[in-house]
Amino acid sequence: MSFFSSHNGIVKKSSFRSPLGHGIFSGVLVSLLVSLALQLIPLTSNAADNTPFTVNDLAKIQQKLMNTDDSMENLSSLYHQTVNNIVNAYMDAFTKNNSDDKALTAPPKNDAECSAVGATMNLSTYCLFLRIDTLYATYSKSLRVKQSTVLQDINAIQHGGEYQEATANSYVSRQKWINKELTASQSALDSVLRSYSELLIQYPMHLEYQKTLKLLIKYYDHLVDVRKKVDTYPARFQDVTTANCT
């Protein structure tokens, strides 16, 4: 069971993804819930300067992602860049966090804990997921809208007697591209979240190994110092016999 799928049920409860999902009103409802969710999670940009963590930044990005008139290339680039920046910021914040406070990486008891910012920002995978999921839901929804638009386009042209093979090919390739993008986006998100989860666990181990390794190198240096002195013993003690006690 993937991390993504295992969280799906939770996210439905906690994020703006509407369980209704029906009709034109769902778009309005989704927008409202997006705003509401963003208000509940006051994200701020302190993990990385170039990361859109502020409420306004995220709201603007989501607004752009909702713009289905924009090209798929722009939507895709915007979404993946944003997610990449957020993941970068979390990884950066975690690896630079010298605190021994395990609570920062422990899963939150409730979603509200993910709203903590600054030094007490919850760096758990769940909170990272919660932030990205809002963007993912918006992006995937926009892609589906465009997918539906494509369907209308091709039938309009066909019905108008202007059907062309090239247009049909374009329609098919766009459908394929969107389907592939939807799958790849979800898999990439799932994969990177699991990687981040591993990072939380294994990076501290790595630091301990590094400490051990550095100590061993010092250990070895001291051992070599001893050896350099001891190596001269056989030569120094040759023909040193004396009849006098010293």
- Name which of 36 and 224 has its Cβ closer to other proteins: 224
Minimum CB distance to other proteins, residue 56 (Å) = 20
**Which of these segments, 37-45, 59-67, 115-123, 144-152, binds other proteins (CB under 8 A)?**
144-152
Site string for other proteins, 44-63 (x = CB under 8 A): --------------------
* CA angle centred on 76, ends 50 and 199, rounded to 5°: 55
Minimum CB distance to other proteins, residue 9 (Å) = 4
Helix (H, G, I), strand (E, B) or coil at 147: helix
Task: Look up residue 103 and give its DSSP letter.
Answer: G
Residue 97 interacting with other proteins (CB under 8 A): no
Nearest to 75, CA basis, from 162, 178, 163: 178
Residue 10 interacting with other proteins (CB under 8 A): yes
- Name which of 62 and 197 has its Cβ closer to other proteins: 197
- Name which of 65 and 192 has its Cβ closer to other proteins: 192
Q: CB burial class (10 A; 0-12, 13-18, 19+) of residue 195?
A: middle
**Which two structure tokens, joined as six digits, stand for 87?**
């993941």
Residue 234 interacting with other proteins (CB under 8 A): yes
Residue 98 interacting with other proteins (CB under 8 A): no
Residue 188 interacting with other proteins (CB under 8 A): yes
Cα separations in angstroms, 32 against 16, 35, 51, 179, 218: 8, 5, 24, 27, 60
Residue 182 interacting with other proteins (CB under 8 A): no
Residue 67 interacting with other proteins (CB under 8 A): no
Residues 110, 97 contacting (CB under 8 angstroms): no
User: Which one-letter amino acid corresponds to residue 16?
Assistant: F
- Name which of 55 and 70 has its Cβ closer to other proteins: 70
Minimum CB distance to other proteins, residue 39 (Å) = 21
Chain centre distance of CA 223 = 45
